[in-house]
Amino acid sequence: MTIPAAIMARHAHRVFLILVCVAAMCGTVPAQTDKTIVVRMLDSRTGLLIASESYLVRMNHIETDHGDWVRKNEDGTGNLTLPADATVISIHATYESATQVYVNCDTNKDRGSADHAANPDHWYEVANILTSGVVAPNGCVGKKVPEKLQVVAKPGEFVFFVRPMNSMERFKD
């Protein structure tokens, strides 16, 4: 018993349409998924990791805070989960204890300038972080960065430096 050519053609056409639909759905899934970035907060003088769950995260030049997007890992780093529409981010240390408050070093080098007064945040491209990793500038150590502070970020990793807030800054705050 042979199957007529017309029935085989219809069957092949249905299979082809199903495959096209499946491929189309698979192509849209990555565009809708969240983006995850590993965050490392380092001491600006020692280069040691400061384990924290407290971050101030801003996205797409909007002043809304999203500190709850970071989950602390066992090694002290944090996983920052961003929505699919995130294009730029700004991350600040907000770790506070009874004795310690931290200040970001990427904006420290701008302090006192007109640029800093107008826009105190540094914004980082999410695409750059995901593809090659980003190390924020360490403006707290001066022009010559000690070798122990020369850090390399892996793809998907954002590294930034902080320093303890001094007593004068605490007084003003």
pLDDT (0 to 100) of residue 41: 92
Of residues 129 and 118, more confidence is placed in 129
Of residues 138 and 111, more confidence is placed in 138
Q: Compute the mean pLDDT over every residue in the chain, rounded to the nearest whole number.
A: 77
CA distances 48 to 77, 133, 150, 151, 172, Å, are 11, 18, 12, 11, 28
Q: Please give the Cα distance from 161 to 153 (Å, whole number).
A: 13
Confidence of residue 24 (pLDDT cuts 50, 70, 90): low
Q: What is the model's pTM? A: 0.71
Mean pLDDT to the nearest integer, 66-85: 89
H or E segment to which residue 32 belongs: helix 5-32
Confidence of residue 169 (pLDDT cuts 50, 70, 90): low
Q: Under CATH, what is the fold of the domain 34-172?
A: Immunoglobulin-like (2.60.40)
Contacts for 11 with CB less than 8 Å, ≥ 6 apart: none
In the predicted structure, residue 161 carries a pLDDT above the cut 50 = yes
pLDDT (0 to 100) of residue 118: 42
Please give the structure tokens belonging to residue 102. Answer: 């931290």
Q: Could you tell me the residue ranges of all domains in the chain?
A: 1-32, 34-172
Indicate if the alpha-carbon torsion angle 58, 37, 127, 86 is positive or negative: negative
Contacts for 123 with CB less than 8 Å, ≥ 6 apart: 61, 88, 89, 90
